[in-house]
Amino acid sequence: MAIIYNEQTKTFTIHTEKSTYQMKVDQHGMLLHTYFGAPTDESDYSYLIVPEDRGFCGQPAGAGDDRTYSMDFYPQEYPVHGNSDFRVLCLKAGLKGHVPTLDLRFFSYHISRGKYALSGLPALFGEDEAETLEIVLKDLFEEIYVHLYYGVFEEKNVITRTAVIENRCKEPLEIKRAMSLCLDFMDNDMELVHFYGKHACERQFERVPLLHGIVEIGSRRGASSHQHNPFVVLCRKETTEDAGACCGVSLLYSGSFRIQAEAGQIEGTRLVCGMDDDEFCWTLEPGESFTAPEAVFSYTEKGFSDLSNGLKAVFHQNLIRSEWKDKKRPTLVNSWEAAYFDFNAEKLLAIAKEAAELGLDMLVLDDGWFGVRDDDNSGLGDWNVNEGKLGCSLRELVDCVNKMGLQFGIWVELEMVSEDSNLYRSHPDWAMAVPGRDPNRSRNQLVLDLSRAEVRQYIKNVIDTLIQSANITYIKWDMNRSMDNLYSAAEPGAPQGVVRHKYMLGLYEILEYIHQTYPEVLVEGCSGGGGRFDAGMLYYTPQIWCSDNTDAVERLGIHYGTSFGYPMSSVAAHVSECPNEQNRRVTPFQTRGICAMQGAFGYEMDLSAMLPEEKDCAKEQIAVYNQNYRLFQQGDYYRITSPYENHDVTVWSYVSRNKETAVLCGVYTDLHGNAAPARAKWKGLEEGAVYDVDGRKFTGMALMRGGIVLPKPECNYDSFMIFARKV
């Protein structure tokens, strides 16, 4: 069994393939955290906790005169506000009108086969390969219960966490903070890896030492955001890609979040993560409960690559539910950078004709096809097809595209509304804006109140009408602003933090409806590119537009950071025109293609205006991707060199699961006179196997230990793609 309870020592020990996690119910009923690290036995590791009388560290109820016992430096499983722990906490709650204070003690536990499920929230699934541990804690003074759930995927080296707060009191309970996870390590010599950014520059890798105090990342923007990502890694100073202890934590939530890491006053490092609690105050009536989003974590002592590939595998197999999970994703051309708002059916069909000749699978019609929408200042909310602009009906356009042998996809931004729209004029109260104040605008649009059932139903009706109107097999689901000044006319007294969470629950309901009603439709998530690229969205959308920045060189860093926590099959990446729209850089067509092949592959350009040599290169790229799509979509991904450390060349590779095929790719980012030869060492190959590389034979051991000499660059931003096939 992966979960073992020892009645004598009152310890819960959880084993995964590469880790052991342990908790203990102590003599006062407190649930202490005693061990998390390399696999070990079921010994009671509470001996590592050293009781001592420490100044200004108070004692909880029942400790009596024992001044050596304090929650202010003891490692805990779910620390709460109110029992003299002054570190970052998981839960702050109390009866309405009373001082928020809790003192949780062990009440009961239950171990079961299969993985627990969450209603209305994304979560890993796995009936036959997981176990669930439920530990119930009860407040010492009130009928307030907290159910801690642990989902254990032993063979996949992953544990999940969530907390359900239950009110059995006769009075309402107010929850002001409800985090999903706490990890208490007993030492404080650790570093934090996180992924910061901005629009068009998301998930930039940063590794910092944890000093005494609190390091915090998060989002208050109503979405997981371009600025920070709800995935972090705690590691040792000596940890590298290939060796060393590290623990990855991913929050399965797409809204505002908070992750805090604190190096303790005495010793220890605590990390908590969950929903953002800014302006959060959730009221639980008697008999009601509240569920925190799920967090997923994994520990290994084999370095970042092992951690990444383990997390990505479980996300692919136990989080993504789409019918497209293991199917070949369509290679496509998107109309946005090809035409922006300036198009008609004739223009779109010209692009489609070229797409079919090049061997692409799909044409995607982006923004501008509906309402009065010739720029981004009007029309959002009016999802009727602008047949005057197209020159035909949507069905007629789609039928023409289908006759060319292409599938058809379409862009929507159903969470937003323009003030210059019929929808807003009919239902101004559906938009979130503070009464009596001129609303904050972003991209000249407002946010629809998805906490309202009638708004959610309106959006579902739009989806039904759209998908049933034509043969649409792909939807790009966009969202293009941060949320602030949130106010729901349906619940005027609700704090903004509550509105943000109810909005997210509403969005998940809509996406679940699409998943259940139209399982054959491929849905791609988007929020101005990568502003909502998180594990929560993968539960509903198997791929996400990685960034609005399509520059091949800047995408190297974006893909590098993204690859730490997310399957590369979920990374939508396209070849675009040069000079690049975002930074005006010019890169070779070949390089743009090799970079885009790191993810779900496509083009973002006017194919009808391509040069003959570009068409030849595109045909070759599409053929290579189609021939090797299983390798690109399902192979293990390895970061060979970092664009943050090696400024000359960025190298990565894919290795098929059976290790029969591998590909080594790279982009030169700087050139030098009289340059030394560049070499790279492959990873993940079968050591004793022999591989053919461009007609030469090498053992897997030779390629991984000695490496290979890389082709000499012939121009600025030159690139290469080298295949190795087992013989």
Q: What is the pLDDT of residue 407?
A: 98
- Rounded to an integer, the average pLDDT of 516-532 is 98
Spatial distance between the Cα atoms of 10 and 7, rounded to a whole number of angstroms: 5
Same domain, yes or no: 684 and 624: no
For residue 143, being part of any structural domain is answered with: yes
For residue 137, being part of any structural domain is answered with: yes
For 55, residues 6+ apart whose C-beta sits below 8 A from its C-beta are none
Joined tokens for residue 174: 């107010």
- Rounded to an integer, the average pLDDT of 453-459 is 98
For residue 327, being part of any structural domain is answered with: no
Does residue 198 surpass a pLDDT of 90? yes
Does residue 176 surpass a pLDDT of 90? yes
Does residue 510 surpass a pLDDT of 90? yes
Catalytic residues: 534, 614
What is the average pLDDT score of the chain? 97
Q: What is the pLDDT of residue 127?
A: 86
Same domain, yes or no: 518 and 449: yes
Phi-psi domain of 717 (left: phi exceeds 0; alpha: psi -120 through 50; beta: other) = left
> Is the distance from CB of 416 to CB of 430 less than 8 angstroms?
no
Read off the CATH number of the domain in which 202 is found.
2.70.98.60
- Rounded to an integer, the average pLDDT of 549-559 is 98
pLDDT band at residue 334 using 50, 70 and 90 as cut-offs: very high
The candidate with the shortest Cα–Cα distance to 270, out of 192, 162, 165, 153, is 192
Does residue 555 surpass a pLDDT of 90? yes
- Rounded to an integer, the average pLDDT of 479-490 is 95
Each residue's pLDDT tens digit, 199-252: 999 999 999 999 899 999 999 999 999 999 999 999 999 999 999 999 999 999
Residue type, 344: N
- Rounded to an integer, the average pLDDT of 524-534 is 97
Read off the CATH number of the domain in which 545 is found.
3.20.20.70
> Is the distance from CB of 260 to CB of 171 less than 8 angstroms?
no
121: containing domain:
3-318
- Rounded to an integer, the average pLDDT of 10-35 is 98
Same domain, yes or no: 655 and 617: no
Angle among Cα 348, 351, 357 to the nearest 5 degrees reads 140
Give the containing element (helix H, strand E) for 397.
Answer: helix 394-403
Q: What is the pLDDT of residue 247?
A: 98
Each residue's pLDDT tens digit, 342-379: 999 999 999 999 999 999 999 999 999 999 999 999 99
What total number of domains does the chain contain? Answer: 3
Residue 292 DSSP one-character state: P
Does residue 408 surpass a pLDDT of 90? yes
For residue 182, being part of any structural domain is answered with: yes
Each residue's pLDDT tens digit, 129-147: 999 999 999 999 999 999 9
Same domain, yes or no: 269 and 341: no
> Is the distance from CB of 725 to CB of 698 less than 8 angstroms?
no
For residue 644, being part of any structural domain is answered with: no
Peptide bond into 579 cis (omega under 30): yes
DSSP 550-615: --HHHHHHHHHHHTTTS-GGGEEEEEE-SS-TTT-----HHHHHHHHTTSEEEEES-GGG--HHHH
Domain end, chosen from 630, 657, 681, is at 630
Q: Are strands 19-25 and 543-545 parallel, antiparallel or unpaired?
A: unpaired
Same domain, yes or no: 468 and 598: yes
Spatial distance between the Cα atoms of 133 and 13, rounded to a whole number of angstroms: 10
Does residue 187 surpass a pLDDT of 90? no
Same domain, yes or no: 600 and 672: no
pLDDT band at residue 1 using 50, 70 and 90 as cut-offs: confident
> Is the distance from CB of 411 to CB of 364 less than 8 angstroms?
yes
Same domain, yes or no: 617 and 658: no
Joined tokens for residue 562: 């993204």
Each residue's pLDDT tens digit, 662-673: 999 999 999 999
Each residue's pLDDT tens digit, 83-134: 999 999 999 999 999 999 999 999 999 999 999 999 999 999 998 899 999 9
Same domain, yes or no: 237 and 358: no
Spatial distance between the Cα atoms of 74 and 214, rounded to a whole number of angstroms: 17
Helix, strand, coil share (%) of the chain residues, nearest 5? 20, 30, 45
Q: What is the pLDDT of residue 153?
A: 98
Each residue's pLDDT tens digit, 570-604: 999 999 999 999 999 999 999 999 999 999 999 99
Same domain, yes or no: 70 and 181: yes
pLDDT band at residue 406 using 50, 70 and 90 as cut-offs: very high
Distances (CA, A) of 467 to 88, 431, 517, 685: 47, 25, 11, 44
Spatial distance between the Cα atoms of 228 and 280, rounded to a whole number of angstroms: 20
Same domain, yes or no: 308 and 340: no
For 405, residues 6+ apart whose C-beta sits below 8 A from its C-beta are 356
Joined tokens for residue 198: 């901005």
For residue 431, being part of any structural domain is answered with: yes
Domain end, chosen from 269, 295, 318, is at 318
Same domain, yes or no: 214 and 344: no
For residue 641, being part of any structural domain is answered with: no
Helix/strand/coil (H/E/C) assignment for every residue in 493-558: CCCHHHHHHHHHHHHHHHHHHHHHHCCCCEEEECECCECCCCHHHHCCCCEEECCCCCCHHHHHHH
The candidate with the shortest Cα–Cα distance to 14, out of 34, 31, 114, 137, is 34
- Rounded to an integer, the average pLDDT of 377-387 is 98
Read off the CATH number of the domain in which 663 is found.
2.60.40.1180
Q: What is the pLDDT of residue 188?
A: 85
Same domain, yes or no: 9 and 133: yes
> Is the distance from CB of 439 to CB of 428 less than 8 angstroms?
no
How many other C-beta atoms can be found within 10 angstroms of the C-beta atom of residue 576?
A: 24
For 714, residues 6+ apart whose C-beta sits below 8 A from its C-beta are none
How many other C-beta atoms can be found within 10 angstroms of the C-beta atom of residue 516?
A: 9
Joined tokens for residue 249: 């934590």
Domain end, chosen from 288, 318, 348, is at 318
For residue 406, being part of any structural domain is answered with: yes
Each residue's pLDDT tens digit, 36-50: 999 999 999 999 999
